[in-house]
Structure 1
């Protein structure tokens, strides 16, 4: 009976679901950092509009990306992206995530300039690599 209970608790895909879900969450870490930096400048609706535009641009190539104009919060957009990325092969998800970030960065740069975009992304990257205490020192 114990063995039956253990088998029921294990994922049916041989334990692969958890690493993929973790990888999808890791792919969102830069987005959470960037959104934190940008909402102080352009607000949540500004970030969502820019993110949505980048997402729509890439959805032409990656039909599995969810594009839903009714999602108006950062959490809603990023949760949908996380589900989308977790639902495809890891290599494809990595490529799509990188392309989405590049598209977003280009669009942001065209709005606020390359220098400010680079500075914001540098701060977001520094916050990601440093601990919470170190991130405060960079500000």
Structure 2
């Protein structure tokens, strides 16, 4: 199971809208918020790239129990989504996430149909 697949899809969608630094800022803030509950989540403000943040997240999730990792990842996605919604509005957030979900379900060969 690839827990980072939704993050890759979302980052691909959002970087055109808010840039890599905007995505990283939102993800970093979501990580800091949840690190209070999940102390094993890496919070490193020097990571300024999507690859760096997602690589650390992948290592963190792999280093804990699968059930806990799944719950923490879902909470992180939820926290990130709420923050994004505050930034760009609920309607646009829902539209972007629906598109990313459609890409996830369709697979890479169907990406062109959604553009």
Partner of 2:31: 55
Task: Give the TM-score, by structure 2 length.
Answer: 0.97
1:34 aligns with 2:7: no
Runs of 4 or more, structure 1, over 6 Å off, are none
CA distance in 2, matches of 1:136, 1:28: 22
Question: How many residues get paired?
Answer: 115
The equivalences for 1:1-139 within 5 A come to 23=1, 26-139=2-115
Partner of 1:6: none
Structure 2: runs of 5 or more not aligned? none
Structure 1: runs of 5 or more not aligned? 1-22
**Which secondary structure state, in structure 1, belongs to the residue aligned with residue 111 of structure 2?**
helix
Structure 1 or 2, whichever has the larger Rg, is: 1
CA distance in 2, matches of 1:125, 1:84: 24
